[in-house]
A and B are shown apart, each in its own frame.
Chain A
């Protein structure tokens, strides 16, 4: 299990390759990458991501440990950035490895659902016409009930 919370960009290809090369006896590797999306109609200048140092790492570790146990995952990698990000920059990635693809996909989806609503990050959109905190959506909270 590897958890990194960092301001710096990461190299998606290199991280995915390194993660996959480390696995033994695993039949599937799944990766997901979250990207800063421009607002409807454009105008996003940056996304500012704030987090709770200390709690962030602990919360992600607990989520990743749960995923590892439930899907018997070989490895789990979570990288999540904070600070000021431009549109189209990568915000975060997860990689999961499991014996079969269903487990690898499910572990990745579980990680994403929980990271969204249970890891202490907050996003603020800085647009040409002002700044606003991104509100949590009910669907994101509802998504947790399926697990």
Chain B
């Protein structure tokens, strides 16, 4: 699936998007999988309460199932307006 990063999450991970092959069943499992990979993911995902997630461009939560999902995005709380 496509995994997208925005704002400081993007900066800590060092890229705006990537393809990830995963069997993760939920967003939280995907996060744990990424955290185990490299220090830059650990730096981005250290505090999940500071992060928001969207699954297929809909605001979601970390317990959301990933079955059938094509796109998951991680970002800090939004600051529009």
- Footprint of B on A, CB under 8 Å? 34, 50, 52, 54-55, 58-59, 80, 91-92, 112, 115-124, 133-136, 141
Contact = CB atoms under 8 A, between A and B. Distances in A.
Contact of B7 (A50, A55, A118): A50
B73 A52 contact: yes
B8 A133 contact: yes
Contacts of B57: 52, 54-55, 58
A25 to B, nearest CB: 29
B81 A122 contact: no
Interface residues of B, number: 16
Nearest to A92: B81
Interface of B: 4, 6-8, 54, 57-59, 73, 75-81
A22 B76 CA distance: 38
Contact of A120 (B8, B75, B81): B75
A34 B81 contact: yes
B64 to A, nearest CB: 15
B59 A122 contact: no
Given A55-B73, A115-B81, A122-B7, 8 more contacts: A58-B58, A80-B80, A92-B80, A117-B77, A118-B78, A118-B80, A136-B76, A136-B77
Contacts of B73: 52, 55, 120
By Cβ-Cβ distance, the 9 closest A-B pairs, closest first, are A136-B77, A121-B80, A122-B7, A55-B57, A116-B81, A119-B80, A115-B81, A115-B80, A123-B79
A34 B58 CA distance: 25
Contacts of A122: 6-7, 75-76, 78-79
A52 B76 contact: no
Nearest to A119: B80
